[in-house]
Structure formats: C-alpha cells, structure tokens
C-alpha cells in the first residue's frame, strides 16, 4: 500500500527505553504521524502523538528530522521505489 513505519530507539537502542514511531500513512515520503513512547514499564507508554495536519507548525523541527530519516531509509533499502 506504499505506507512506511520507522521505529526509533534514540536512547539506548533497546525496547525498554524511550521510543518513537514515525508513520508515512499514504506513501508520499512525508511522515504523517509521530508517536513518542515513554521509557519504562507502563500500561500505556504513549507520551505524545503528533499529526502533521494539526501539529506541524509547533513541531516543524521534529517532522523535518523524521522526514529526513524516512527518506534516508527509503533510499538505502528500497531504491526501486525512488522516482
């Protein structure tokens, strides 16, 4: 369907630390949603949910960084998809 998910563990590189899930839901190579999860053992680890349509202006730097990361991974692992 053209969508992409990028899971990032910025602190220690394992599942028990803080994590981020960047989602390109429509395959346009732009991150549509950023989910930031807290570290530790919580029933609901979701700390922040950012949606491009409503949160881009206040979180532009996060979205630009996530877009760059997504495009680097697309180029590295899916070169046939680049037009």
Task: Spell out the domain ranges in the chain.
Answer: 4-81
The β-bridge relationship of strands 4-8 and 19-24 is: antiparallel
Phi, psi of 44 (to 5 degrees): -125, 105
32-53 pLDDT, tens per residue? Answer: 999 998 877 666 788 999 999 9
17-36 pLDDT, tens per residue? Answer: 788 999 999 999 999 999 99
Predicted confidence band of residue 55 (pLDDT cuts 50, 70, 90): very high
The owner of tokens 């989910």 is 35
3-class SS at 53? helix
What pLDDT is attached to residue 16? 66
pTM, full prediction: 0.82
3-class SS at 45? coil
């Amino acid at each position: 369907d053209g969508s992409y998910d990028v899971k990032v563990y910025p602190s220690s590189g394992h599942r028990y630390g803080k994590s981020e899930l960047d989602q390109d839901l429509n395959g346009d190579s732009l991150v549509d949603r950023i989910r930031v999860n807290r570290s530790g053992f919580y029933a609901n680890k979701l700390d922040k949910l950012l949606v491009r349509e409503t949160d881009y202006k206040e979180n532009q730097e996060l979205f630009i960084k996530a877009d760059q990361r997504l495009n680097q991974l697309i180029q590295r692992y899916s070169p046939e998809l680049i037009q």
